[in-house]
Structure 1
Amino acid sequence: MSDQKFRLRAFLWHEFKEGKTAAEAHRSLPPVFGENALSKSQCRRWFHRFRSGEESLEDDERSGRPEIIDNDALRQAVELDPCLTTRSLSEQFNCSHMTILRHLHALGKSVRCGKWVPHELSEANKKKRVEVANDLLRRSKNRGFFHSILTSDEKWIQYDCSERKHQWLSPGETPKPTPKPDIHGKKVMICVWWNTRGLVYFELLDHGQTVTAQRDKGQLDRVDLALKQQGVDTSTTLLIHDNARPHTAKITQKKTLELGWEVLQHPPYSPDLAPSDYHLFRSMQHHLAEKKFKSDEEVKIWVTNYFESQPAEFFKKGIETLRMRWQMVVDNDGEYLLD
């Protein structure tokens, strides 16, 4: 039996054991196997075999004593390397693919893809994340620490935010298609500064513009003015931003010193420790679902309304969550926080 044929049948067997119907399994095949997907009738035949108690994936019936493997050894193998294939495991344990699948299912194992992470962290990256997290945890014990934090970041907002949605369907019914947004469609960049009390300042860049060191320098002056208009003592400002070049450029560093702000340490490749990434932008993206804009002015109105609709607790929680996230980085030896 070919590898492709086996993978198709193993996929059906897994779907069957998960309680799916033949129709549901058939709809799940194309995204995984593309043009090599089985027909509906083939899926139904295999499900009929499984329901009758036949678990072999071979075309012909085979007789003989059941294959027995050590479940503890199998568990240890897959926990040491979760990416092992059933083919390599069957060779390692000298048994069939079906036996491996059956035992893995009995052990409560199922196949799922890992989450994408921003970067493959080196040991040095992880060590730096732990060092910075420990340092900031110590500082966070100081009174007023989180109240002094100002954080900033940038985000692209597409004019067309259409998304594919799950649909409730009857057996055999085909889901309605969703037009794919133009990846080269119009978009605008938003730059945001906020603290535990709420929005401080935001601006939309003109089309074709991105953040540069010179532009960042000018924005910092406008943010400082906005803070003072809100009655904030800017001399205690603790700025959190990522390590993008505009933020680490000499003229930007000179400007923050001139304003009397302190830039808090932020480890490289760490969006999971940036409040805008793990909190604000995640919420914004959720609210942007299915939105369509015709102009920058419409985007600006939507953004303004979004910020005005958020309670003060939303911003406070987003920044004060840093303490828990720093602790999690320390506890996980610098690994990414997967949430």
Structure 2
Amino acid sequence: MAVSANDIHIRHIMLFDFRGGLSAAETARHINGVYPEVVTDRTVRRWFQRFGSGNFDLEDKQRPGASPKISEDNLAKMIEENPKLTCQELANIFDLHYNTVLSHLHSIGKRYRAGKWTPHELTPEQKTYRDTVCESLLLRNNNLAFLDRIVTGDEKWCLYINVTRKGQWLSKGEKAVPTPRADLHQKKVMLCVWWNIKGIVHWELLNVGQTVNSDLYCQQLERVKSSLTKLWPALVNRKGVIFHHDNARPHVANITREKLKEFGWEVMLHPPYSPDIAPTDYHLFLALQNYLDDNRFQNKDEVENAIKIFFAKKEQKTYLEAIEKLPTRWARIIETGGEYYDN
């Protein structure tokens, strides 16, 4: 594309102002004050975006609607090799305008979406172990269903102030009401809970700032056993408990292992970094946090009362449904070679 000397002169001014820290709007006013109506705010913003990406070439690039200078096959191949390339990075690679690349991306059916956060970046060995454990559990359950024997549980921090940021419907020019971030060091209490397909077996709220160690965990297990024996004695005395918890340090300590061995409870296999196959994580705590969101509590008693209401309102069938999701999750992890379960 032929570029006049006047065009280059104006672009030099834009680059000068960009390096001088002026905004696009200020630069447009500056230029138009000397050369009336020679540029628009939109044009200056486009060039500033280009400069901001590190491209200081003052030759213009192709605009949307001009004859294509890009092979969509090459674009698709590059995206397949590295789907995390941004539109601006692709524009720089192909030496095209941002909007031209965006138009071609849409033409080949691509949309830019952020991937979900995962709990952990799994190593090949961890994926293999997850696959192996899930295959073992699924095969066992297919041969003789054992989901009704599972007792599971975990710990969760419950905050006094539960802040959520929500979208707002606004008129043109109206600013959204800001949401202050939660204090990183605010008060919180730890909830410890155990449950099965029929509902809550036992739960307790620790003192403010208190955490679980192996000694406390063993004391808690005694209370879990006592409650379970009162509520469902057949599970303890006849069927046999299959106890499920994660690999937190107090859960795998020798003293804990000995306590569970004393109870005669079988410990269910659970691979590390696997909240996606821990019913307390993917069901109970998720529902509880949704319930607590936007709530502010003054003290531990208020937190405890809210949790009591949550458990009282929760229907028994939801506990059953949560446990019954396990085989589907195991199967999906096997199909994907140990990757995280994707809802």
1:338 to 334, 338, 342: 342
In 2, Cα distance between the equivalents of 1:163 and 1:63?
43
In 2, Cα distance between the equivalents of 1:63 and 1:257?
72
In 1, Cα distance between the equivalents of 2:81 and 2:61?
32
1:279 to 276, 279, 283: 283
Matches within 5 A, 1:34-73: 46=42, 66-73=67-74
Secondary structure at the counterpart of residue 141 of structure 1 = helix
1:149–1:93: structure 2 CA closer, same or farther, 3 Å change rule? same
Which letter maps to 2:72?
A: N
- Aligned pair count reads 302
Alignment partner, residue 262 of structure 1: 266
Contact 1:153/1:276 (<8 A) preserved: yes
Report how far residue 93 of structure 1 moved: 4.3
Which letter maps to 2:137?
A: L
Report how far residue 121 of structure 1 moved: 0.4
TM-score, structure 2 length as denominator? 0.79
Alignment partner, residue 254 of structure 2: 250
Which letter maps to 2:318?
A: F
1:245–1:38: structure 2 CA closer, same or farther, 3 Å change rule? farther
- Determine whether 1:152 maps to 2:178: no
Q: What are structure 1's unaligned runs of at least 5 residues?
A: 6-34, 51-55
- Determine whether 1:110 maps to 2:114: no
Alignment partner, residue 165 of structure 1: 166
Q: Which whole-Å deviations, capped at 9, do the CAs of 1:276-331 have from their partners, x for residues lacking one?
A: 11111111111111111112111111111111101111100111101110011011
* Higher mean C-alpha deviation, range 92-101 or range 264-273: 92-101
In 2, Cα distance between the equivalents of 1:192 and 1:39?
57
For the pair shown, the structure with the greater C-alpha radius of gyration is 2
Contact 2:198/2:320 (<8 A) preserved: yes
- Determine whether 1:234 maps to 2:230: no
Contact 1:234/1:260 (<8 A) preserved: no
Report how far residue 257 of structure 1 moved: 0.7
In 2, Cα distance between the equivalents of 1:96 and 1:305?
57
- Same amino acid, percent of matched pairs: 40
1:249–1:61: structure 2 CA closer, same or farther, 3 Å change rule? closer
Alignment partner, residue 317 of structure 2: 313
Contact 2:188/2:209 (<8 A) preserved: no
Contact 1:57/1:98 (<8 A) preserved: no
Report how far residue 270 of structure 1 moved: 0.6
Matches within 5 A, 1:20-35: none
Q: What are structure 2's unaligned runs of at least 5 residues?
A: 1-7, 15-20, 29-39, 52-57
In 2, Cα distance between the equivalents of 1:36 and 1:283?
49
Report how far residue 107 of structure 1 moved: 1.8
Alignment partner, residue 131 of structure 1: 132
Contact 1:158/1:186 (<8 A) preserved: yes
Which letter maps to 2:209?
A: G
Q: Which whole-Å deviations, capped at 9, do the CAs of 1:177-229 have from their partners, x for residues lacking one?
A: 23332221110000010000000000111122111111111111100000001
Which letter maps to 1:327?
A: A
Secondary structure at the counterpart of residue 190 of structure 1 = strand
TM-score, structure 1 length as denominator? 0.80
Provide the alpha-carbon RMSD of the alignment: 3.2
